[in-house]
């Protein structure tokens, strides 16, 4: 049995590696002394092929296969040309070299010249070349959808299209064998939906190929030298294609699914579309045998170009042909041409029917649901009736349900959050890389995508015809190494007025964090650009201490801290010509990985927000654009806190103009072990849990896992797939991640069946999901998730934990309409069960990343999974270092499903609280339940007693009571609530006394000691007018760090609160404090107006007026801006209120 043809579960990229190793083994079996060579450039859907190759480096080296990553795709193709020269080189060490080139669709395009030359000059008889084209048919993670077939045909390059991962070895080995015979390079389509999937590959022996007698033409088919340029090279291509046809005739790569003696019609399925058709037939109740019995031959085509002799032979025998292929009609077009040559009259349909009406789409991926209705209509004349599920007959769910979307976003601490900012009045252009996400972040960045390496060159043709003279161009370091350096050279040559922002992040983060394909240093890069003619180069960094030794810094290059970025951009945009900013800051995700592996020191400086001081203005989010700054629900409204679990300590959040921030030095988060369930406790509970009746998988059982990228959705999908295999269950897996690791939606399709013959395509189709495991509500109500659900059959298990979306960083007051999203989800499912799995994972396991495993345990205990307990335990054991936590999480999920009360004793908060927060011992600031309006009023009263004194608090009670008395008469309790909350807000303005008190007179500092293992070094980040002058660059007061010596000062200030509002209140003379007192007086006057004017007819306007102070948040200039906006809104509402009153009076008179 062939070593690499054994039965196992493989992903697409693993199958490509196996393909290389299998070819080496096959050559060894035939006593051929060959070597292998693979080169290319990463890019989705082949983003992680290089990583997979590195992971198998030992096996590759042993098989004499060399992996050489390339700077870009076309250089890789030139390297492959060299491999085919080896066989004719007298100094050769091996008989020949089989080669593999890889690149995503745009890489195929940019390498056209090299690939065309390689194919034309040819392969060697013991070599051969496969061109792995990563075609993103659905534009899942590309600037545009891609299909390489037409380009390859233009180069006379044969094309193979495997239907599944299981096809990769068969098709790939056939391709190398045919390449050796014909001298042609072979295109091998690795489309997203296949190469990013996983499936079980059955064991089989190696193929034995018959070598045909081919016509080599006048001067042969293979590489040779000398072979000077001339028309003979082009003429040779026809002989190559004929040799491919001859090889295909002796060794058919296309096949009939079942014999058909006297075919009347021919159903042709091409590549991946074959799996879709097979599923459409299975769902509709037909088999290939039934088609054959009615005279319909069913041919699976894997050789797209040239057409196989088998296809042409069958086509000549029938009167009707239906070609089903994804995207452009390649096989249909070629077949039509052949039929014309044969003078054969056939009713050939595919993308259009015989009347020219559209039948199958050419601009989107095919699905069984998109094929079923046209296929059903075509089969009916042959007495074949295909049943179409109702979900496939109804209209597709509207794309815009007015629900929030989980779009990809910069990771926490991402350097692009700062580097892509612009000074006012400037514009920037996007490029290839993670920084493209700036285009949807209100940063005046866009202007359309260009091919990789063309960044900034469109400005050469744009600038002469517009009034704007300058533009910034973002350029990633990976793109710079790939081809972007030529763009800078061209801009210099054209005399462009442009500033390139070269984002030097030390990793190709967008495709998985691979190292850059080169070893040029940052200083060498700066010197090179100056030598190319760039007018000025400036290096900006977040760590100036990295550059203590400036001896290697080029003389004309200046170095600045990133705080000066805006000033630098303003300076450079005035310099006519090409200028460059090299922004040096490591990729946050890669830095996090290196910390976990011990390659760089762990973070020892942590930012913390005192939620009692926080006003919830969100300025820290705006300044940092960081997903680690999250909303948190408190009795006093939505505040902000730092999610230490995802924080990368970029610390840009400290720029938020707010006194609530502190930093803790030389420390690490202390895990809260108080609530974690021990293994011993679990072992007492587990035997008492009932064993469920499991779901069955006699037909495909389809599971969709959906959540936030980077939270373990893919891992959970693999766990289910591995467990299913242990149960001897056929399984397929498809991961749609793309930009998901950047906080976008991640989706994994898992399909299981005990009958492997019933498992075809890997994607769950419309309305076919049996189970949806939804780790995030926003992602679960996205178009991609909703369309697989069915009101009649889909069960959904939801994690209710609320995770903010990127849009909330740019609009801090934005909130998500969770009730609407829940209603949408319930309308699309048969049943919906929910649990705060992330809270349970954090508290009971001590690891939030186990939330998905809790959901799996929950689903299993309810009998929603057709997988045995033994197999799930075995799969968990395979998780390595995280296995213990995963096992605990799985059983906690089981307990939560049937006996949740057993978990209560380990929790100090209710399991449905979405944002568990610090529990201060003082009841006034705790997560206590405020059950009624009276509770709310008394809660605020007590807080005001603490804030000032009882007399001050009684003033509050008196005012609220006035409103409440009137509101009760007209059923306007909500207005009373608004007044109670907003009057308190204005009365408890956070002056110096209050900020100090909230730090030292609450248990904040004590709680801090429970969060971190060392709190001896604390720094407060404050803007004190006496010490902090206005920054001339921003016009605003800056902030400074103050050490623990400030704590006694805070205690003193807190004790001085009786001075507030008196002549001895020195802080009260500040304009900001005067304004705060004036706002309170104005609101009390507004309360008087409401009491006078409020009635049943104007409640909506009164409600808005009463709630206006809620818009006033923050400190200093942030608060000033909010006050201005509130005053403008107040004027509008008061006019509206008075106008309504005048109209009512007029109506009475009339």
Task: Please report the DSSP string for 62-101 in residue order.
Answer: HTTEEE---SSHHHHHHHHHHHTTGGG-TT-SSSEEEEEE
Report the alpha-carbon distance of residue 112 to residue 74 in Å, rounded: 8
Distance CA 1072, CA 1083 (A): 17
Cα separation, 865 vs 833, whole angstroms:
15
Q: What is the mean pLDDT of residues 214-228?
A: 88
Fold of the domain built from segment(s) 255-393: Rossmann fold (3.40.50)
**CB 408 within 8 Å of CB 740:** yes
pLDDT tens by residue, 500-511: 999 998 766 555
pLDDT of residue 397: 57
d(CA 341, CA 331): 15
Summarize pLDDT for 1034-1046 with one digit per residue, the tens: 677 889 999 999 9
Please give the span between the terminal C-alpha atoms of the chain, in angstroms, as a whole number. 99
**DSSP state string for 530-598:** HHHT-SEEEEEES-GGGGS--TTS-TT-EEEEGGGHHHHHHHHTTSSSEEEEEEE---HHHHHHHHHTT
Residue 6: pLDDT band (50, 70, 90) is confident
Per domain, the residue ranges of the chain are: 3-250, 255-393, 416-586, 679-904, 928-991+1060-1136
Tell me whether the CATH fold assigned to 255-393 matches the one assigned to 416-586: yes
Give the tens place of pLDDT for each residue, 315-370: 999 999 999 999 999 999 999 999 999 888 899 999 999 889 999 999 999 999 99
Mean pLDDT for 461-483 is 93
Q: What is the CA radius of gyration of the chain?
A: 34
Q: Where are the alpha helices (DSSP H) in 161-228?
A: 168-182, 192-195
161, 194 in Cβ contact below 8 A? no
Closest CA to 369 of 268, 284, 302: 284
The stretches of 416-564 forming alpha helices (DSSP H) are 416-419, 458-462, 477-479, 485-494, 522-532
The residue-averaged pLDDT of 826-843 equals 94
Instruction: Find the DSSP H helices in 828-906.
Output: 837-840, 851-861, 869-877, 883-898, 901-904
Residue 306, preceding bond cis, omega within 30 degrees? Answer: yes
- Nearest Cα residue to 166 out of 361, 343, 323, 12: 12
Evaluate whether 158 touches 170 at the Cβ level (below 8 Å).
no
Q: How far apart are CA 36 and CA 59, in angstroms?
A: 12
| pLDDT value, residue 511 | 52
Please determine, looking at this structure, whether the domain spanning 679-904 carries the CATH number 3.40.920.10: yes
Mean pLDDT value across the chain: 91
* Whether the model pTM is above 0.75: yes
pLDDT over 70 at 1144, yes or no: no
Q: What is the pLDDT of residue 24?
A: 97
Q: How far apart are CA 74 and CA 113, in angstroms?
A: 8
The whole-number pLDDT of residue 921 equals 28
More confident residue, 808 or 1113: 1113
CATH class of domain segment(s) 416-586: alpha beta
pLDDT for res 1146: 64
The answer to whether the CB of 740 falls within 8 A of the CB of 710 is yes
Instruction: Quote the pLDDT of residue 446.
Output: 85
Cβ-count burial of 1006 within 10 angstroms (0-12 exposed, 13-18 middle, 19+ buried)? exposed
Give residue 321's pLDDT: 98
The conformation of residue 1012, written as its DSSP 8-state character, comes to: B
Residue 3's pLDDT band, with cuts at 50, 70 and 90, is low
Average pLDDT on 567-593 reads: 93
Average pLDDT over residues 57-80: 96
Long-range contacts formed by 1066-1075: CB under 8 A, 24+ apart: 1067/991, 1067/992, 1067/993, 1068/991, 1070/1025, 1072/1116, 1072/1119, 1072/1120, 1073/989, 1073/991, 1075/1120, 1075/1123
Closest CA to 136 of 186, 199, 77, 195: 195
Taking the C-alpha atoms of residue 830 and residue 528, their distance in angstroms, rounded to an integer, is 63
pLDDT reported for residue 1138: 82
Which whole number is the average pLDDT over 451-467?
A: 94
In eight-state DSSP terms, residue 260 is -
860-895 pLDDT, tens digit each = 999 999 999 999 999 999 998 899 999 999 999 999
Q: Give the neighbor-by-neighbor strand order of the sheet with 1018-1022.
A: 606-609, 661-664, 1018-1022, 1040-1042
Residue 42 scores a pLDDT above 70: yes
CB 196 within 8 A of CB 45: yes
697-725: average pLDDT: 94
Closest CA relative to residue 1113, chosen from 751, 720, 620: 620
Residue 1148 binned pLDDT confidence (cut-offs 50, 70, 90): low
Q: Assign 917 a pLDDT band (cuts: 50, 70, 90).
A: very low
**Sheet with strand 34-40: strands edge to edge:** 65-67, 34-40, 96-104, 129-134, 186-189, 159-160, 303-305
The confidence score (pLDDT) of residue 2 equals 59
Number of H helices, E strands in the chain: 44, 33
pLDDT (tens digit per residue) in 727-753: 999 999 999 865 645 678 899 999 999
Ramachandran quadrant class, 816 (left: phi over 0; alpha: psi -120 to 50; beta: rest): beta
CB 511 within 8 A of CB 47: yes
Residue 532 has pLDDT above 60, yes or no: yes
H or E element at residue 703: strand 701-708
- What pLDDT digit, counting tens, does each position of 1011-1031 carry? 899 999 999 999 987 676 777
What number of other Cβ atoms are within 10 A of residue 757's Cβ?
10
Question: Pairing mode, if any, of strands 629-634 and 701-708?
Answer: unpaired
**Mean local confidence (pLDDT), 77-103:** 97
Question: Greater confidence, 1036 or 233?
Answer: 233
Interacting residues of 29 by C-beta distance below 8 A, sequence separation 6+:
206
**CATH topology for 3-250?**
Rossmann fold (3.40.50)
Instruction: Outline where 272-348 has alpha helix (H).
Output: 273-284, 288-293, 309-315, 330-341
Strands (E), 377-447: 428-429, 445-446
3-state secondary structure of 134: strand
| Confidence band, pLDDT 50/70/90 cuts, at residue 516 | low
The percentage of the chain sitting over the pLDDT mark of 70, rounded to a whole number, equals: 94
605-663 residue pLDDT tens? 999 999 999 999 999 999 999 999 999 988 999 999 999 988 999 999 999 999 999 99
Which burial class, exposed, middle or buried, applies to 955 when counting CB atoms under 10 A from its CB (0-12, 13-18, 19+)?
A: middle
Looking at residue 755, the DSSP 8-state letter turns out to be S
Residues 805, 440: contact at Cβ < 8 Å?
Answer: no
Residue 729 contacts residue 723 (beta carbons within 8 Å): no
Q: What percent of the chain has pLDDT over 90?
A: 74
CA 419 – CA 218 distance, rounded (Å): 60
Q: Cis before residue 470, ω within 30 degrees of 0? A: no
pLDDT at residue 912, as a whole number: 36
The model's pLDDT over 771-785, given as tens digits with 9 standing for 90+, comes to 999 999 999 999 999
Sequence-separated (6 or more) residues with CB below 8 Å from residue 551? none
Residue 427: per-residue pLDDT: 94
- 1078 SS3 class: helix
In angstroms, the CA 609 to CA 607 distance is 7
Residue 766 CB contacts under 8 Å (≥ 6 apart), including other chains: 367, 369, 391, 392, 396, 787, 788
Q: For 385-395, what is each residue's pLDDT tens digit?
A: 999 999 898 76
Residue 518 pLDDT greater than 80, yes or no: no
């Amino acid at each position: 049995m062939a070593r690499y043809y054994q039965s196992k579960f493989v992903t697409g990229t693993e199958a490509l590696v196996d393909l290389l190793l299998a070819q080496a083994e096959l050559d060894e079996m035939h006593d051929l002394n060959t070597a292998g060579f693979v080169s290319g450039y990463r890019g989705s859907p082949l983003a992680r092929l290089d990583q997979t190759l590195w992971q198998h480096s030992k096996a590759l080296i042993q098989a004499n296969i060399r992996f050489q990553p390339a700077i870009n795709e076309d250089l890789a193709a030139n390297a492959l040309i060299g491999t085919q020269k080896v066989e004719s080189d007298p100094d050769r060490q091996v008989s020949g070299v089989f080669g593999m080139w890889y690149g995503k669709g745009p890489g195929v395009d940019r390498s056209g010249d090299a690939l065309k030359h390689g194919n034309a000059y040819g392969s060697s008889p013991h070599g051969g070349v496969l061109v792995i084209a990563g075609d993103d048919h659905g534009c899942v993670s590309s600037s545009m959808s891609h299909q390489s077939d037409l380009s390859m045909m233009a180069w006379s390059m044969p094309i193979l299209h495997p239907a599944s991962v299981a096809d990769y070895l068969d098709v790939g080995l056939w391709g190398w064998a045919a390449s050796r015979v014909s001298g042609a390079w072979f295109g091998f389509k690795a489309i997203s939906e296949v190469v990013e999937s996983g499936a079980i590959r059955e064991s089989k022996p190696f193929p034995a190929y018959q070598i045909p007698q081919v016509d080599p033409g006048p001067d042969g088919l293979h590489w040779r030298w000398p072979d000077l340029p001339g028309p003979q090279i082009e003429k040779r291509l026809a002989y190559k294609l004929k040799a491919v046809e001859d090889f295909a005739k002796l060794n058919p790569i296309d096949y009939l699914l079942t014999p058909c003696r006297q075919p009347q019609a021919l159903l042709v399925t091409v590549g991946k579309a074959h799996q879709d058709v097979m599923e459409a037939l299975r769902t509709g109740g037909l088999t290939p045998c039934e088609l054959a019995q009615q005279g319909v031959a069913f041919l699976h085509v894997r050789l797209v170009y040239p057409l196989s002799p088998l296809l042409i032979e069958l086509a000549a025998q029938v009167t009707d042909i239906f070609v089903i292929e994804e995207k452009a009609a390649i096989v249909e077009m070629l077949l039509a041409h052949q039929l014309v040559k044969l003078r054969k009259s056939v009713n050939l349909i595919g993308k259009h029917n015989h009347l020219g009406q559209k039948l199958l789409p050419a601009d989107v991926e095919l699905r069984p649901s998109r094929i079923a209705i046209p296929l059903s209509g075509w089969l009916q004349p042959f007495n074949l009736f295909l049943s179409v599920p109702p979900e496939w007959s109804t209209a597709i769910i509207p794309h815009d349900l007015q629900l929030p979307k989980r779009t990809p976003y910069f990771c926490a601490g991402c350097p692009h959050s700062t580097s892509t900012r612009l000074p006012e009045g400037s514009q920037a252009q996007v490029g290839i890389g993670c920084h493209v996400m700036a285009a949807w972040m209100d940063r005046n960045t866009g202007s359309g995508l260009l091919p990789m390496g063309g960044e900034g060159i469109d400005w050469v043709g744009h600038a002469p015809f517009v009034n704007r003279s300058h533009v910034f161009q973002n350029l990633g370091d990976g793109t710079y190494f790939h081809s972007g350096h030529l763009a800078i050279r061209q801009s210099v040559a054209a005399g462009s007025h442009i500033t390139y922002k070269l984002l030097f992040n030390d990793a190709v983060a967008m495709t998985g964090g691979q190292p850059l394909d080169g070893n040029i240093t940052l200083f060498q890069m700066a010197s090179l650009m100056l030598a190319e003619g760039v007018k000025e180069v400036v290096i900006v960094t977040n760590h100036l201490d990295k550059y203590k030794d400036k001896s290697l810094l080029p003389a004309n290059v200046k170095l600045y801290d990133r705080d000066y970025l805006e000033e630098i951009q303003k300076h450079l945009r005035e310099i006519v010509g090409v200028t460059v900013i090299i922004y040096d800051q490591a990729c946050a995700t890669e830095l996090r990985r290196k910390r976990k592996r011990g390659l760089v020191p762990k973070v020892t400086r942590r930012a913390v927000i005192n939620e009692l001081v926080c006003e919830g203005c969100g300025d820290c989010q705006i300044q940092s654009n960081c997903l680690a700054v999250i909303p948190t629900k408190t009795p006093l409204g939505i505040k902000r806190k730092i999610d230490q679990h995802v924080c990368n300590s970029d610390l840009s959040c400290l720029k938020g103009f707010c006194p609530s921030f502190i930093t803790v030095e030389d420390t690490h988060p202390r895990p809260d072990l108080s609530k974690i369930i021990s293994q011993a406790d679990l072992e007492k509970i587990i035997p008492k849990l009932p064993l469920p009746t499991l779901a069955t998988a006699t037909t495909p059982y389809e599971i969709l896992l959906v959540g936030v990228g980077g939270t373990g959705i893919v891992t959970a999908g693999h766990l289910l797939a591995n467990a299913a295999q242990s149960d001897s269950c056929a399984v397929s897996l498809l991961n749609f991640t793309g930009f998901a690791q950047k906080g976008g939606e991640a989706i994994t399709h898992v399909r299981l069946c005990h009958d492997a013959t019933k498992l075809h395509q890997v994607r769950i189709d419309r309305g076919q999901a049996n189970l949806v495991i939804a780790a995030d509500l926003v992602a679960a109500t996205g178009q991609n998730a909703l369309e697989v659900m069915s009101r009649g059959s889909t069960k959904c298990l939801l994690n209710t934990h609320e995770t903010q979306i990127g849009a909330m960083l740019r609009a801090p007051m934005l909130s998500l309409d969770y009730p609407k999203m829940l209603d949408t989800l319930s309308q699309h499912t048969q049943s919906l069960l929910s649990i705060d799995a992330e809270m349970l994972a954090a508290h009971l396991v001590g690891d939030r990343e186990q939330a998905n495993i809790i959901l799996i345990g929950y689903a299993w205990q309810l009998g929603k999974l057709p997988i045995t307990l033994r197999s799930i335990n075995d799969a968990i054991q395979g998780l390595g270092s995280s296995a213990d936590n995963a096992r605990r999480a799985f059983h906690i999920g089981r307990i939560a499903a049937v006996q949740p009360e057993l978990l209560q004793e380990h929790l100090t908060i209710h399991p449905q609280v979405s944002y568990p927060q610090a529990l201060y011992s003082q009841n006034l600031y705790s997560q206590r339940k405020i059950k009624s309006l009276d509770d709310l009023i008394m809660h605020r009263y007590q807080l005001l007693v603490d804030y000032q004194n009882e007399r001050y608090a009684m003033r509050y009670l008196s005012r609220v009571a006035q409103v409440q008395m009137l509101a009760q008469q007209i059923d306007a309790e909500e207005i009373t609530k608004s007044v109670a909350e907003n009057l308190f807000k204005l009365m408890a303005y956070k002056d110096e006394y209050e900020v100090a008190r909230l730090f030292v007179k609450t248990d904040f500092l004590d709680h801090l000691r429970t969060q971190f293992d060392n709190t001896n070094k604390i720094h407060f980040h404050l803007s004190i007018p006496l010490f902090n002058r206005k920054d001339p660059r921003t016009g605003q007061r800056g902030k400074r760090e103050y050490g623990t010596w400030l704590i006694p000062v805070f205690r003193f200030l807190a004790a001085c609160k009786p001075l507030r509002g008196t002549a001895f209140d020195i802080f009260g003379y500040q304009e900001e404090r005067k304004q705060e007192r004036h706002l309170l007086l104005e609101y009390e006057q507004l309360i008087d107006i409401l009491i006078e004017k409020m009635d049943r007819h104007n409640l909506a306007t009164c409600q808005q007026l009463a709630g206006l102070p809620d818009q006033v948040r923050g400190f200093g200039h942030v608060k000033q801006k909010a006050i201005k906006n509130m005053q403008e809104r107040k004027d509008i509402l008061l006019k509206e209120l008075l106008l309504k009153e005048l109209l009512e009076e007029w109506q009475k008179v009339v």
